[in-house]
Structure 1
Amino acid sequence: MVFSSYMVLAQEHPNLILTKRGVEKIRAELGKVPLFDASLKIIQEEVDAEIALGIDTPVPKDYSGGYTHERHKRNFLILQKAGVLFQILQDEKYAVYVRDMLFQYEALYKDLPVHPKERSYARGKLFWQCLNDSNWLVYVSQAYDCIYDWLSKKERQQLEKNLFRPFADFISTENPQFFNRVHNHSTWGNAAVGMIGLVMGDEELIQRALYGIEDDGLDADAKDNDGGFIKTQGKAGFLANLEEPFSPDGYYTEGPYYQRYAMYPFLIFAVGLHNVKPELKIFQHKDSVLLKSVNALINLSNEDGDFFPLNDAQKGMSYYSRELVTAVNIAYHYGGSDPRLLSISEKQDRVILDDSGLSVALGIREDKTESFKKQSIHLSDGPDGKQGGITVLREDKLELVFKYTAHGLSHGHYDKLSFMLYDEGMDVLQDYGMARFVNIEQKGGGNYLRENTTWAKQTIAHNTLVQNETSHFNGEYEIGSQHHSELYFYDVSDKNVQVVSAKENNAYPGTKMHRTMALLSFEDFEKPVVLDLLRVSAQTENQYDLPFHFLGQVMKVNFDYSSPSDLGALGTDNGYQHLYIEGKGKPKTKNTKLSWLRNNKFYTLTSVIHKNDEMLFTRLGANDPEFNLRRDASLLIRRKNSKNTVFVSTIESHGSYSPVSEFSVDSNSGIAELQVVHDSSDYTAVTIENVEGKVGLFILSNKNPLKDKKHTLTINNKNYQWTGPYHFIKTKQ
């Protein structure tokens, strides 16, 4: 279908996020809904303070964190809030403020060149990248909708001709490499163009947003600054961005950090489409994947609400962010009023000022809240749910996060079969996240640092296997994006024995990895014990490195090691150049132990070891002259000249220390011996013996994951029979 540039649809305003009917309901409830009233008061005070300061729309010149960047960002946030206040409070000072600032932008934008900073693959005008320009238009379109009917027809025509339509064209048809792809960047661009199109009644812009630019002239091999392909199999537009990155479970392939960021344009544009184009049934699209994704995202946060730092992610980002306030409100209002979401809103302690925010506040007022109890969960990856996934095993405030996903677009890391471990909301074995100080101008203009590529994305930065000091897929996006790990099985039917297992056959040519992780409960242990079983099958001999990136103070080890007087780097490339060698040791027994203290709790890593293995204490900081990397520590098990091998470890959380009483309790490991008692291509069996002589036997079927498959295995002249992919029993020696 062909649309003229200004094919206008008849409509009334506001109709984008706020609606006339919704505003009337909000006004009728003012003063009677505590959480909504409190949120309104905070925003009114914030906007009033900005109005008192006056309007500033400076000529753009800065990266993230610089004055002009932050001023324009502040402006679009305040404009959206001021528009809402005008509708709710009917005070014209807010409409005047929005109008006056929009006309300042109209005067600025008419002759504005592209941003002077040249780093981005798609430079913006108000900001250094089109992404931030799109942020601006997503928010400002809402403000424009709120004062649309208050403005004169002449004022609307001037703004649309000189500001909004050129703005929408610039971030779309003039920058197809930004707009016409599957990526969180494009989601923002699609939403921006679509939302201003909905307000203006411009059908061409709406169709462009939904389906992309038909003839974009892009080279299929073009890449952005992060090394990701610009195009994804020729698919583009908002609906393609709904189809491709989301799995049927609502997992977003770039990871929770960028899912959080993308949820705002996904959901806010969806609300606009729901209100203006209900025939699209956008919230039912792909089996209601947008609404599912909010639940998935909450489940990808730890005990404290911080998102697990999978792929590029800033540690500490949480569901307290403004994007998640919006997401939770919209999911509650449009997704069946799940009372568990109200408990998240209560923690967030604010709502958005629209129909969905009012629904949440009314639900809380009416005492409908139920606790959101996060359970163990498996979330598939890929548009069809068949490209691996993420599993979180939870028990007694332990959270074991196991990653076996697709690459994750340009924000993906090279870390197949990696894991991280949390205890009471605190990471104990960590994923580094990304090397970036967002919006801190002193650190690379707030952008991604060189070390994001040289360290954070490299395999050695994660808790997974590295072969021959080379990252998975040789650290090449073109290769890694073609492959994904495979879920072998997932079973949490018994909370005392929770198991997940996955395979990776493509990270290294000729090498297959199979990792199984479990939370095993023992009566004599304070918390469940993590069992980590990693089998490697290779066609040639290799050097294998298995790092454990622990956080805390080393308490004790049971092996001898030497510390160099001068620190040197562990290697020269693939992240190894950033690791200092702080200690090098050899095992004295068949098990090595590392115990450390983290936040007044003790942890012990016990590993089955070979006599020729090396134990390497490493610390970040080598070849980092600008101090861009944290000085984090790790213990690395190095196994040389090996073909087929198995790494087995346990991790315990035990005891505590009080700096007030200066008492330590249960500071020593409760595991006496960890042993591989059988290993073949068909089965691997491990025993865990505690200090009282009680033994847990875990047997894994390496080839058949079917739940109804019957197995028989003889170990040390004793027969074991079971059904299913694993068997766990407790005995006494």
Structure 2
Amino acid sequence: MILTKTGVEKIRAELGNIPLFDSSLKTLKEEVDAEIALGIDTPIPKDYSGGYTHVRHKKNWIVLQKAGVLYQILDDEKYAKYVKDMLMQYEELYKTLPLHPKTKSYARGKLFWQCLNDANWLVYVSQAYDCIYDYLTKKERKKLEKNLFRPFADHISVESPQFYQRVHNHSTWGNAAVGMIGLVMDDQALIDRAMYGIKGVNLDKTAKDDDGGFLNKDGRAGFLANIEAPFSPDGYYNEGPYYQRYAMYPFLVFATALNNVRPETKIFEYKDGVLLKSINALLNLTDANGNFYPLNDGQKGMSLYNNALVTAVNISYHYGSQDKGLLSIAKEQGRVLLDDSGVAVAIDLRDGKEQPFDKKSINLSDGANGQQGGVGILRNDELELVFKYTSQGSSHGHYDKLSFSLYDELGEVLQDYGLARFVNIEQKGGGNYLKENKTWAKQTVAHNTLVQNETSHFLGKYEIGSQHHSELYFFDNQNDSLQIISAKEKNAYPGTEMHRTMALIKDADFEKPLVLDILKIISEKENQYDLPFYYFGQLITTNFEFTTPKTLKTLGEKNGYQHLWLEAEGKANEGNTQFSWLNNRRFYTITAATNPSDEIHLVRIGANDPEFNLRRDAGFMLRRKNAQNTTFVATMEAHGSYSPVSESAVNASSNIASLKVVLDAEDYTAITISGKSGGNRLFIIANTNASKEARHQLKINGKEYTWVGPYHYNQIK
């Protein structure tokens, strides 16, 4: 399926002459040889994620796949025998197993506490079986297929429709597992079940998965449905990059198997080649250090060095456009797959064909037709601004319309919290999602976006949020000095419209590109508006006075506010409020246009968290009470540095002298930014006409301004 006969011949002919492939093979051989020396262990299942039996069976599926590959490449019978012996041990075990004793999952497996991990096992083990298929006798194959593989495939599909029969990353693993073992066994019924789902299955409309997301009710399921619905035409996966990375392995290995065994499916051309296109999108959803942006449920630190991304890069290069930029990523990853795609990458790296993978500003649409919002990434001079205006993102979505996060080459500057989970750490909730994921991480106040009346977007309810998405107003990345994105959200709070515009402006008067943030709110009634900014590091200075309480109290009682300690509070200034901090030896400043009635809250995550499941991160929050139609305007700048060796601070103060809203009307909002080193800048956005061809004429403080397009920016006297 994955290793073809032609591919094996090519690999054997090139061995010893392809450095990255050779080193990858050496590492893998050492790993498998060590496991063979330890002996085979297939324990009775009893643990959640992180427990011994879970980890052992997970290790087994990995080693089985690798041992099968070694048998094909090295033609050493000891690897085939090892795979055979372990499979026979699993055959003896599996036919005796009831459902897993842990009952927390909505769909229990047999080897593992959830069907998802059973599907993981079968995706890998089907490859091992394929590699030693001709080594086994017909009688041995019949025994394995009758007592292990077919019952295994049936359990995760027809016996677990609530797991299998929907559109979700879980189901993708299930589809791939059933389809791949079907390809090895040449079982058309299993292949059809994988591609199109189970026929005639009706799910309980109230059924929910572990994360509270409703299951698929429209009857569409199977591998093709899981390609059609979650991926936008740009290749963005609606659950977010963390789960896209997780789902890419089954998507791509099953697609490769179909391409090799059933080429008539033309699977890599399906939906305009979106599977291969999605890899480029996924790579663009990483920061300067290769870490994925933690949009929706995403664990921080997951990066392009993950094995799934090695698979993605190799397969994309070999079966896709042979983009030479992918070779530079493969080189960074330091290893390749031991198959047809891996040898192709290794040969071209050896031959010096690599080019840099250039990540630029990009806008990725969301939704099957690309019409359900999206994610915009503005990049300039090692600064990266991530702007989220997506659909809900399935059950893994967070309630954070028009939120943003900011990065530089040192890491996070203004953060998205990510998920509340310690993946595969048994001591923390069995390695599963913690209750704080719902009470904090998914709530709107956990993100850098607007909160109205201390209530989350869509009331924090999936069934409401899944019906709506934000709308792109415009995106412009054509000017190297000014890149901009703007979007509107009309449904998060009924009767309130939010319109947020964020720009990355490169200006010689500023050390790094300047971020401009304009959040315009129009509402049918007066509300309280909170706008938090979550940062890392140490507060350095403010230009407002604040008081610190002797006894800590929470900022609120629900919707995430119960998890925020109020560490200090004060009143904003007339004109501008500034807040500066130091992190990673660099200074940062937020400057906000404020009035004296605005409140400032300095907060810290961690209240009502008796098991210390949450990080103790800090935030700076602007609060505006009794406001109906209003506009928040702020800038963010990175500047200077501090050396603990020389004990010197360089450019430690903001370079902004003033930030003013000089016009705020229904049709236009105008901002002036004045630098301490001189120079004034005027930014105008047309709030009701985003046409690139529209001509505008506007008088501000007695001066006429004319321009074409949705915004105007220039230096003014």
Identify whether the pair has TM-score above 0.5, normalized to the shorter chain: yes
Distance 1:696 1:166 in 2: 69
1:432 counterpart = 2:417: yes
Alignment correspondent of 2:385: 400
Kept in 1, the 8 Å contact 2:573–2:595? The answer is no
SS at match of 2:235: coil
Alignment correspondent of 1:96: 81
Alignment correspondent of 1:60: 45
Report the alpha carbon displacement of residue 219 of structure 1 after superposing the two structures with TM. 1.7
The correspondence of residues 488-527 of structure 1 with structure 2, limited to 5 A, is 488-527=473-512
Distance 2:393 2:347 in 1: 38
Distance 2:218 2:667 in 1: 39
Kept in 2, the 8 Å contact 1:302–1:425? The answer is no
Distance 2:55 2:511 in 1: 48
Displaced runs of 4+ in structure 1, greater than 6 A? none
Distance 1:222 1:496 in 2: 50
Amino acid at match of 2:578: K
The correspondence of residues 442-481 of structure 1 with structure 2, limited to 5 A, is 442-481=427-466
Alignment correspondent of 1:274: 259
Distance 1:101 1:150 in 2: 14
- Greater shift, 399-408 or 519-528, is seen at 519-528
Kept in 1, the 8 Å contact 2:470–2:489? The answer is yes
Alignment correspondent of 2:202: 217
Distance 2:507 2:124 in 1: 53
The correspondence of residues 236-635 of structure 1 with structure 2, limited to 5 A, is 236-635=221-620
SS at match of 1:559: coil
Alignment correspondent of 1:11: none
Distance 1:687 1:114 in 2: 65
Kept in 2, the 8 Å contact 1:397–1:425? The answer is no
The correspondence of residues 156-195 of structure 1 with structure 2, limited to 5 A, is 156-195=141-180
Partner residue of 1:31 out of 16, 27, 33? 16
1:226 counterpart = 2:226: no
Alignment correspondent of 1:71: 56
Distance 2:201 2:575 in 1: 61
Amino acid at match of 2:326: L
> How many residues align structurally?
717
Kept in 2, the 8 Å contact 1:465–1:545? The answer is yes
Amino acid at match of 1:119: K
Distance 1:124 1:442 in 2: 21
Distance 1:326 1:425 in 2: 27
Amino acid at match of 1:298: L
Deviations 1:216-263 (A, max 9, x none): 231233211211011153210000000000000000000000000000
Kept in 1, the 8 Å contact 2:663–2:670? The answer is yes
The correspondence of residues 117-136 of structure 1 with structure 2, limited to 5 A, is 117-136=102-121
Identical-pair percentage: 68
Amino acid at match of 1:203: Q
Deviations 1:674-718 (A, max 9, x none): 000000000000000001331110000000000000001110000
Alignment correspondent of 2:705: 720
Amino acid at match of 1:522: D
Kept in 2, the 8 Å contact 1:499–1:517? The answer is yes
Partner residue of 1:137 out of 122, 140, 160? 122
SS at match of 2:640: strand
Report the alpha carbon displacement of residue 336 of structure 1 after superposing the two structures with TM. 2.0
TM-score (norm 2): 1.00
Distance 2:52 2:148 in 1: 22
Alignment correspondent of 1:43: 28
Report the alpha carbon displacement of residue 589 of structure 1 after superposing the two structures with TM. 3.1
Report the alpha carbon displacement of residue 524 of structure 1 after superposing the two structures with TM. 1.1
| Superposition CA RMSD, Å | 0.6
Distance 1:206 1:589 in 2: 68
Amino acid at match of 1:462: H
SS at match of 1:549: strand
Report the alpha carbon displacement of residue 93 of structure 1 after superposing the two structures with TM. 0.4
SS at match of 2:346: helix
Distance 1:366 1:636 in 2: 54
SS at match of 2:59: helix
Report the alpha carbon displacement of residue 205 of structure 1 after superposing the two structures with TM. 0.3
Amino acid at match of 1:65: G
Distance 1:700 1:292 in 2: 33
Deviations 1:633-669 (A, max 9, x none): 0011011111000000000000001111111100000
Deviations 1:454-487 (A, max 9, x none): 0000000000000000000000000000000000
Distance 2:202 2:695 in 1: 57
Distance 1:108 1:582 in 2: 56
Distance 2:216 2:510 in 1: 51
Distance 1:446 1:119 in 2: 12
CA 1:290–1:232: 2 relative to 1, 3 Å: farther
Kept in 2, the 8 Å contact 1:182–1:232? The answer is no
Deviations 1:600-622 (A, max 9, x none): 00000000112211100000110
SS at match of 1:714: strand
Distance 1:513 1:635 in 2: 20
Amino acid at match of 1:175: S
Distance 2:548 2:147 in 1: 67
1:153 counterpart = 2:146: no
Kept in 1, the 8 Å contact 2:699–2:705? The answer is yes
Distance 2:218 2:535 in 1: 40
Structure 2: unaligned runs, 5 residues or longer: none
SS at match of 2:685: strand
Distance 1:444 1:610 in 2: 45
SS at match of 1:533: strand
Distance 1:470 1:697 in 2: 34
1:701 counterpart = 2:686: yes
Distance 1:104 1:416 in 2: 50
Deviations 1:79-101 (A, max 9, x none): 00000000000000000000000
Kept in 2, the 8 Å contact 1:707–1:724? The answer is yes
Deviations 1:117-138 (A, max 9, x none): 1111001111110000000000
Distance 1:489 1:336 in 2: 30
Amino acid at match of 1:62: D
Partner residue of 1:686 out of 671, 675, 696? 671
1:673 counterpart = 2:658: yes
TM-score (norm 1): 0.97
Kept in 2, the 8 Å contact 1:517–1:533? The answer is yes
1:638 counterpart = 2:623: yes
Report the alpha carbon displacement of residue 425 of structure 1 after superposing the two structures with TM. 4.6
Partner residue of 2:186 out of 197, 201, 206? 201
Distance 1:525 1:180 in 2: 54
SS at match of 2:401: coil
Report the alpha carbon displacement of residue 500 of structure 1 after superposing the two structures with TM. 0.3
Kept in 2, the 8 Å contact 1:333–1:359? The answer is yes
Distance 1:82 1:177 in 2: 33
Distance 1:513 1:222 in 2: 33
Distance 1:225 1:206 in 2: 27
